[in-house]
Every structure is written in structure tokens, then in C-alpha cells.
Chains A and B, each alone.
Chain A
Amino acid sequence: MSIAEGTRPRHVPDRLASRPARILRSWELLLTVIAILIFLANTQASPYFLDPWNLSDATFNFTEKAMIAFAMALLIIAGEIDLSVAGIIALASTAMGWALQYGAGMPVLVLIGLGVGLVCGAFNGLLVTRLGLPSIVVTIGTMSLFRGISYIVLGDQAFNGYPSDFAFFGRGYVFWVISFELVLFAVLAVIYGVVLHATNFGRQIYAIGNNATAATFSGIRVARVKMILFLLTGLMSGIAAICLTARLGSTRPSIAFAWELEVVTMVVLGGVSILGGAGSILGVVIAALIMGMVTFGLGLLNVPGIVMSIFIGALLIGVIALPRLIRLVRTGKAA
């Protein structure tokens, strides 16, 4: 029974070859329509929704998660996954809080946040690329390990008292209602969009995700690209940790708990194939907006967070199931 071991379960459809970019485009169109519908529903549901400051507050629902989602999208397109991102946030935040106890100032805190993110990403990347372990299992392990270290350090305690110049990363506004986080989100979206869709490196990511063996044959250094992607995901988690810690003003080991699932949901909702090889940054951006609006709109209606998660879960399954359901009814075959 030892057939095909070591390979990820993957039945990559020749999506890009057989049905050109049309499907991808229509996916983003579908998402845009949904986003507009949700926006309209929100304006009808609550008179407070259109207030600029309210809308500005709403962006905090997705900016930090979306930053990670960009890197995660690249990683998933390349056929890997990182479930430890929320664990990295917890560890990076704990390291920053720990340094704070020794009087570290804003620049040091930022460097520590970024550094811990990179080290964690490197740890995941080395385990996956050097030892050839499946990333889903490795990162389930490091998820517990990273957050576990936070629990060892902090227990039921918390770190407080972050300096005010550090708080800018989470609470600062660049212009009127435009927060620093929102600007960072937009800048990162553009950078990731360009990297994925307009560079050699981006094409390599798609090639690896569609067929890693063929990519190797065409001279792509698969392990190196994957390593870079794990480093990027770690770095983005570090950046998210800085923003989130600055916004909350405190560190608890339960910080960003279960965010990995929301980040993956955002990426998949954005049309990135969980099997690798297909997806776009634009899709992820729209998915981030959708998730942010759903959360915020329901929040204005006093719907508790746990109930919102039903909507997010249903949205995830519904959006993916709908086209397949239509195909099933029409042709009798789902895929």
C-alpha cells in the first residue's frame, strides 16, 4: 500500500490551459458582485454603515489578516500552506513584549517583530524544503510550538505599556480617516500583485503549483522559491503582529487565536485553488473586503462574532459550491 507516498494529494486540472483566464476573471467578477450586494445590504440594514469613521474602523477587521493572506496566497498557489501564521503572531508579539520589559524602544520592537517572523518562517521553510515534510503537518506542529512558547513565557499574564510612537502602527492615521494599516494594506496589495502577476518569480510560483516536477525540469529552483515564500509568510505574520500588538496595546498568548483559519478562508474565497497553481491577488483583496464588510455589517446589527463565523463559513462553501452545483445540474458532473 505504499504507492504515491510523499506526494501531496493533488489532481491539478489544466485550468489555465483548457479554459483561459476567462474563468479567473469571472471568479473575481462574481466576488465583486457579492461585495457590492453585501455593501448595499449593509447600507440598507444600518444607517450607521456609511459613516466615514465607521467604515474606517471596519477596515481593521481585515487589514492585518489580509497582509498575511497575500503571502499565504503565493504559498498556496505554489502548493504549500502555512497554518502557523497565528502562532507566529503570538510568538512575535510575546518577544516584543518581553523586550519591552527591558526598556526596548519603538525601532527595536519593530526589528524584533520582523525578526521573529523571519526566523519562524525560516524554521517552517527548512523543515519543508530540506526535510521534505508535508507543510500542512509541519505547520500544524509549529502552530502549537510557536503559540506554546508564548504560553510558557506568559502563562495567564499579559505584557502592557507599549510606547505611544509604537502605537502608531495600529492606531495611527495617515490622512483623515485613512489609517496607517489601510495604507500598508494597499501598498502590500500592489507589491504582491506585481510580484505574482508581472515578474519571473511570480510565474515560477504558478509553475511550481501546477507541476513541481515539470518546474524542476524547466530550471526553476523549486526548494529555493518555496523557502522564500515561507520566509515571506513569516515576515508578513511579523508585520501583522506589530500592527495588532500596537492596536491592542497588550500581548496575551491567546492573541490572534484561530486566525490561520480566517486567513486561509480569505485566500480560498479569493479564488486561489487550494490545490495550487491558480489564483490572483485581486481576488484575495476583494475577499478581504467581503469578509471585512460582512463582519462589520453584522456587528452594527449586534450580531455576535460567533454567529458571523457561520456567514463566513457558509460564504466560503457557498461561493465555491455554487458554480460546481450549477455544472452538476447542467452536465451531471461536478468537475
Chain B
Amino acid sequence: MKQFITSREAILLAALVALILLVETRFSGFAAPGNLASVFNDTSILIMLALGQTLVILTRCIDLSQASNLALTGMVTAMINAAMPGVPVVALISIAVALGLLMGAFNGLLVWKLDIPPIVVTLGTLTIYRGIIFVVSGGAWVNSHEMSAAYKAFPRAEFLTLPVLSWIALAVIAGFAILVNRTALGRAFFAVGGNPSAAVYTGIDVGRTRFMAFVIAGGLAGLCGYLWVSRYAVAYTDVAGGFELDIVAACVIGGISIAGGLGSVTGAVLGALFLGTIKNALPVAGISPFWQMAISGAAIIIAVAFNRRKDPGRVILKEPAQ
């Protein structure tokens, strides 16, 4: 219990609750269950992407191509839907996930087989994947009226008072909790990030583990591609432009160490919810949406300063402060 109270997750949870209460004192109704559910629903996509990113960061890598992956898969599903409205939504989701997995695997292969630094690989694929959107769509938009009703209705459909989008996010969170805490692969992510050399000696294939992290992150980005485009009912080249950094920000706020090997599913979810709550609170508080970028920036800096970890003392001589 004491361990929980002093954990990063508990502190972050307290900060989140404090933030919600702060908004509530000024604008009653914000903390109402119905509104909180809608904040969660709004943040669902960010949560799922942040979970994928968490695995990648755990293994000391980074994936900057998630938002481009999302935008490309979203565009492809929208175009298929516009051209062939008869294709069932389940098939479109499968296509989205498969496409996302494929793009994640491309990143992962370059990191695994060619040993190219992940930031270089995903910086490249960030621009490549987004450029491909323009090539396949010719720069055209797929608008709401071109999409079939079923395509748009799926994430919005209510099931036990919550929209399907929220349920998908909950399922992904549960899946991740099991994957990360209860499977050999999940532990391998931590081992690879914590100490790659030691991981090799325990029989873990470092490259393959990283590959798996990229594949999972890619698959989730693909799934989110369909969800994003169907939810906002529009697909164009710049969908989710710059969102890759929001995802990293959510992870950082959630206490996932950029140096790898440290982090938790709870942290990533709370980090995403923290950003999502700020995003939702601004319009309620009557603050211009133009403040949002500066506030998330400040939140990231404060979070990373707050999450600063003392070195465990393995370094012989620490860098002097001066």
C-alpha cells in the first residue's frame, strides 16, 4: 500500500484528480460521470497510441511514425469505403490493422536487421507514410457524405452506456496489462530496455523484441487510423499532423523513461488522460484553444523534471553539475 502511495502512478493519479477538481470548482459539471466518460472517449485514441509507444520506448527505441501510419490507414479505409460502400466495417478494420502492422514491421525490420537508430528510421517513415497519403488520395479529401453510415456509426454506437470507441480502448488497456505484466514478451520489453547486454545473456533476442514492439505499435496505429477517420468523418493528408509528439508527451507525462526499461501501462494511460483532460478543460474554462500547445509543452517539461530519477549509483563518476 505504502509502495503504491509513493509510486509515480499514484502521484500522477492525484494530479489528474486535482486537475479535474480544479476545473470542477470553476465550472460545475465537469467532474460529472457523464462528462468524464466523454473525456475518456475523446482520449481513447491517444491512450491506445501511447500504449503502443510505451512498448517501443521501453525497449530504448522511439516511434515517430505513428501519426503518419494512422493517417495513411485512415485514408485507405475511407477510400475503400467511398469506392465500395458494401465492404463490411469488420473487413475495413482488419485491413487497417494489417496495414498498420505492415508499416510497424517495416520500421521494426530496419531497426532489427539493419541496426539503424530508431529515431532515424521513424523520422524517415514519418515523412514517407504521410507522403504516400497524398499519392494514393491525389491530395483529395474523403468527406463525411462519401462515407457509408455504417462506417461512421461503428465507433459511436453505444453499448452498455459507453461508445464502442471507449470499449475498444478499455479492451486494449486490459490486453496491455496482461501482455506487459503477465507474458514473457512483456517482460522482455523491460529486460531489453533495462540492460540490452544482460538481456542477451538471458536468452532474449534484443532485435526481435524491438521488432515486436514496433509491430504492435504499428498495428494499434492502424486500428486508430480507422477509428480516428470514422469518428471525425473526414480523411485528408494532414490528419493527426504533429500528433506523434502528443503521443510521446503522454508517455513522458506517464513516467515512461525515455532511457528505456522503466514504465507501466497505468502510467501511460494516466499520462494520456492528463493531456486529454487539459484538452477538454480548456474550452470549458473559456481559454482560447491557442493556449493548448503552450500548456502541453509546459506540462511535458514539468512532468519530465518531476519524473527525474536519481542514477542508481552504477556510474563511477557522475557528470559534474557545473
Residues of chain A having any CB pair with chain B under 8 Å: 1-9, 11, 127, 130-134, 136-138, 140-149, 151-152, 154-156, 212-213, 216-217, 221-224, 253, 258, 261, 264-265, 268, 274-275, 304, 306-310, 312-314, 316-317, 320-321, 324-325, 328, 334-335
Q: Which residues of A contact B288 (CB under 8 A)?
A: 152, 155
A212–B319 touching, CB < 8 Å: yes
Stretch at the interface among B5-13, B84-92, B129-137, B219-227: B129-137
Residue among A4, A154, A253, A312 with max Cβ neighbours from chain B (10 Å): A4
A213–B317 touching, CB < 8 Å: yes
Known: A141-B249, A325-B114. Contact between A317 and B294, CB under 8 A? no
Q: Can you spell out 13 A-B residue pairs with CB atoms less than 8 angstroms apart?
A: A1-B261, A4-B195, A7-B311, A142-B297, A144-B296, A152-B290, A268-B120, A304-B134, A316-B120, A316-B124, A317-B128, A325-B114, A334-B115
A130–B296 touching, CB < 8 Å: no
Interface majority SS (helix, strand, loop, mixed), chain A: helix
Instruction: Please tell me if B184 contacts chain A, counting CB pairs below 8 Å.
Output: no
Instruction: Please tell me if B312 contacts chain A, counting CB pairs below 8 Å.
Output: yes
Q: Which residues of A contact B294 (CB under 8 A)?
A: 144-145, 147-149, 151-152
Q: How far is the CB of A91 from chain B (nearest CB, A)?
A: 10
Interface residues on B, range: 35 or more
Interface string of B268-308 (1 = CB under 8 A from A): 00000000000000000000101111111111110011001
Q: Which residues of A contact B29 (CB under 8 A)?
A: none
Known: A133-B308, A137-B252, A213-B315. Contact between A310 and B127, CB under 8 A? yes
A321–B116 touching, CB < 8 Å: yes
A7–B295 touching, CB < 8 Å: no
Q: Which residues of A contact B60 (CB under 8 A)?
A: 9
Cα–Cα distance between A253 and B124 once the two chains are bound (Å):
25
Known: A6-B309, A148-B293, A314-B124. Contact between A224 and B115, CB under 8 A? no
Cα–Cα distance between A230 and B305 once the two chains are bound (Å):
18
Residues of chain B having any CB pair with chain A under 8 Å: 60-62, 110, 113-117, 119-121, 123-128, 130-135, 139, 190, 194-196, 198, 237, 242, 245, 248-249, 252, 257-262, 288, 290-301, 304-305, 308-312, 314-317, 319-322
B259–A258 touching, CB < 8 Å: no
Interface majority SS (helix, strand, loop, mixed), chain B: helix
Q: Which residues of A contact B125 (CB under 8 A)?
A: 313, 317
B120–A274 touching, CB < 8 Å: yes
Of all chain B residues, the one with the shortest Cβ separation from A9 is B60
Q: How far is the CB of B316 from chain A (nearest CB, A)?
A: 7
A141–B297 touching, CB < 8 Å: yes
List the 5 shortest-distance A-B pairs measured between CB atoms, nearest first. A148-B294, A144-B297, A145-B297, A310-B131, A141-B300
Q: Which residues of A contact B301 (CB under 8 A)?
A: 127, 138, 141-142, 145
Cβ 8 A contact of A151, one of B132, B290, B305: B290
Cβ 8 A contact of A137, one of B61, B304, B322: B304
Cα–Cα distance between A213 and B315 once the two chains are bound (Å):
9
B128–A310 touching, CB < 8 Å: yes
Q: How far is the CB of B226 from chain A (nearest CB, A)?
A: 22
Q: Which residues of A contact B315 (CB under 8 A)?
A: 7, 213
Q: Which residues of B contact A307 (CB under 8 A)?
A: 131, 134-135
Cα–Cα distance between A308 and B130 once the two chains are bound (Å):
11
Q: Which residues of A contact B248 (CB under 8 A)?
A: 137, 140
A223–B123 touching, CB < 8 Å: no
